[in-house]
Amino acid sequence: MIADVCKFDVIMTAIIIPKGFKITPKQFDELTENNTDVRMELTAQGELIVMPPTGGTAGWKNASISAQLYNWVMKSKTGKSFDSSTQFILPNGARRSPDAAWVSSEKWNTLTPKEQDSFPPLSPEFVVELVSPSDLKNQRYKNLQEKMQEYLDNGVKLGWLIEPKARKVEVYRQGQTVEIIQTPKSLSGEDILQGFVLDLEVIWS
């Protein structure tokens, strides 16, 4: 039983997940349903990933990105925007929670109300991942780059991996090599999010 190996409750304040520990999607759903305050992801290979909470600086920078995307969506009426609390079930079976994401109305409306209320079984057209200070340790940054490629492989059209410390952005596009932009003042949503411009001044500050 997964509960015998990985137990969360109001008494426990720390959890150690063995490297490479794997569970089934059904076990993952049960785990997340019973531990809504813990952010987790599941790889396509069934590896459980417990996401550490962000620090204050990373938190408000994430909030800025989500707010800018939300404000554009409310004006453009082009679809739905999501923050890191939303988890998507990708076509390869992975359960991923990008820091910010956008799904067009056309794609969103293909889901049933039940699917919209649960983990949406689709790939967003656009995703953002913000590199936190803890991500720069060990293999986490490389894992984020692999995650961005996974997004593309599963249908994401445009992705931004933003690294505040180095003031750089890795832009991921379908069928193209990764573009690295150093200290841009803003980023354009290109033809995927027409009219959306992300102001990066607050991210670099």
Measured CA to CA, the distance from residue 120 to residue 111 in angstroms comes to 8
Residues 6+ apart with CB under 8 A from 80: 73, 102, 103, 105, 108
Report the CATH fold assignment for 56-204. tt1808, chain A (3.90.1570)
Q: DSSP character for 112?
A: -
Measured CA to CA, the distance from residue 33 to residue 177 in angstroms comes to 38
The pLDDT value given to residue 20: 65
**For 124-183, what is each residue's pLDDT tens digit?**
999 999 998 877 876 788 989 999 999 999 999 999 999 999 999 999 999 999 999 999
pTM of the predicted model, to two decimals?
A: 0.85
Q: Which residues does the chain have with pLDDT short of 50?
A: 1-14
Beta bridge partners of 50: 40
The two structure tokens encoding residue 115: 């699917």
Mapped onto helix, strand or coil, the DSSP state of residue 115 is: helix
Strands 179-182 and 168-173: antiparallel
What are the sequence ranges of the domains in the chain? 2-50, 56-204
Mapped onto helix, strand or coil, the DSSP state of residue 13 is: coil
